[in-house]
């Protein structure tokens, strides 16, 4: 192959690498959120960032109000109650809640406000979290899930934050 024939390939390779990396230094994952009847309730996009795991949850069709959002330990979302997702991701064996001096679980994220139109968005970073590699990666052998709860997290009550039932669940899958 001549140099001129190879030029388009050589020019495209760096662009393809940049498009896949998104400037976050690692691969990504996603989770399609469903309710107990299997209806779509949103999506979570997850990327490895330099300070931890970057999470962007976009919800639709949920009741208005404030809802807890957590990462749970098991990549299974069997409805209608999603207890198959296990407890909160907690590799550090801490207590629950950002306001708990003995907390928080790695999977404890801020609450998400859902408007009257049923939509909400949460963007956060799980500080120190790793998608893959390290001592306690999120994407381990049994996977993980993002769960949206019926009520707000009180940020202190161990082990659940009094967040109520599980409205929506999404299995986190590597992209």
The residues assigned a catalytic role are 70, 72, 88, 96, 105, 108, 149, 166
| CB of 82 closer than 8 Å to CB of 75 | no
Rounded CA separation 148/86 (Å): 13
Main-chain phi, psi angles of 47, to 5 degrees: -135, 150
Q: Classify residue 133 by its DSSP letter.
A: S
Angle of CA points 152, 157, 159, to nearest 5°? 100
Q: Which residues contact 64 (CB under 8 A, 6 or more apart)?
A: 114, 115, 116, 118
Tokens of 133: 């590699």
Whole-number Cα distances in Å, 116 to 4, 18, 65, 81, 145: 58, 38, 8, 24, 26
């Amino acid at each position: 192959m001549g140099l001129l024939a190879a030029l388009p390939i050589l020019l495209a390779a760096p662009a393809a690498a940049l498009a896949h990396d998104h400037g976050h230094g690692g691969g990504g994952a996603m989770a399609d959120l469903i309710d107990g009847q299997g209806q779509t309730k949103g999506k979570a996009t997850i990327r490895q960032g330099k300070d931890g795991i970057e999470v962007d949850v976009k919800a639709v069709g949920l009741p208005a109000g404030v809802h807890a959002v957590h990462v749970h330990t098991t990549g299974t979302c069997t409805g209608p109650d999603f207890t198959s997702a296990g407890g909160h991701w907690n590799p550090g064996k801490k207590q629950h809640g950002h306001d708990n001096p003995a907390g928080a679980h790695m999977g404890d994220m801020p609450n998400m406000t859902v408007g009257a139109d049923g939509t909400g968005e949460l963007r956060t970073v799980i500080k120190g979290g790793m998608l893959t590699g390290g001592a306690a990666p999120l994407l381990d052998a049994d996977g993980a899930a993002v769960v949206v709860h019926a009520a707000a997290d009180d940020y202190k009550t161990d082990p659940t934050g009094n967040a109520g039932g599980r409205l929506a669940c999404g299995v986190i899958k590597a992209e």
